[in-house]
Amino acid sequence: MSRRPSPTRLDIRWFAPNKYCTLVVPRLEARGFSIALAGDEAARVAVAMDAQVAAAAYSYAARVGCPLIHYVWDLPPWRLGGGRPDWVWHAFGRFWRLPRVGRRYAERAGYYSRLSYVASRAREVWAPSAHTVASVEERLGVACRRVPFCFDSDRFTPAPAARPRAGLLSVSRLTRQKNHAAVIRVAARFRPPLAVRIVGSGPEHDGLTRLARELGVPCAIDAGLPEAEMVTAYRGAEVLVCPSRFEGFGLTPMEGVACGVPTVASDIPPHREFLGTAVHFFTLDDEESLVAAVTAARSGWPPHHAGDVLAGVTIDAAAERFASGLAPYVG
């Protein structure tokens, strides 16, 4: 869909913490939406594309008097635990918080308390998956709309020609929930052990290095790869393994499938929701299941059909969803 830009007021003030969260912006602008990524010019609607920018987006929306759409990617259960948000209010252009006595969120209480406050006052709350929608409605007590985002379909594409591939690749933050250790353990089950490359940074770095050394697994851990090198890493892997215990969307396996890499993914709701038959699933904490999935992926069976599976999560498809959702606010 397309529309004519408003001559009197900016359509959308788009708040994003990184480049990824702006992928649909050029497509929306091509459809006629006027969008600003910075500044205080008044807009018809504000969009907060991540919890990191929710507070700033809410303050802006309150200041210029426009509705806010709040995008929530996930609500990690280990961070919220069985707690409830602190008391939060917004006055004089800033947030104020009174810590709750007892039953607080398990981690980052102020961060998630502000998120809860903003979500309860946003005009709409959107989320990328059915799993996150259910979490938002249960934990924050607000209605939530499923509006899947996208992977970078302009950048992650198959290699233009066949190229040699080697080893297992795992891409994500080096945290316990991302479960990179499972990749090292399964690599050690093969003879000789499979080489492992992990791309990411985080507190698990030293532990993963130590585990690989103990198991005799050749392992390289890289952080901060440039965009072009990231695509090269995918294309050069024999198998991409996505062993995460929790995801709100599940971006990494989408990127692997888009690059034509045999992909293994943990059997968690977002992976099932978006990946269909394009990957080999394995059961969490079942090493035999992971070995079988990696073995099947290395054999090249069954072939995956990236175009069919990923058609709904391209940049163009996400832009169409966002354009439809935003149109009532800027018409």
What are the structural domains of the chain?
A: 10-150+314-330 (3.40.50.2000), 168-311 (3.40.50.2000)
- Alpha-helical (H) ranges within 149-203 are 180-187
pTM: 0.94
Indicate the DSSP class of residue 107: S
pLDDT digits (tens, 9 = 90+) for 142-179: 999 999 999 999 999 998 877 778 899 999 999 999 99
Long-range contacts formed by 137-144: CB under 8 A, 24+ apart: 139/75, 139/80, 140/72, 140/75, 140/115, 140/116, 144/72
pLDDT digits (tens, 9 = 90+) for 207-231: 999 999 999 999 999 998 998 899 9
The total of other beta-carbon atoms located within 10 Å of residue 174's CB is 22
Rounded distance between C-alpha atoms, residue 327 and residue 331, angstroms: 6
Confidence of residue 3 (pLDDT cuts 50, 70, 90): low
Confidence of residue 94 (pLDDT cuts 50, 70, 90): very high
Q: Under a CB-based contact definition with an 8 Å cutoff, are residues 117 and 142 in contact?
A: no
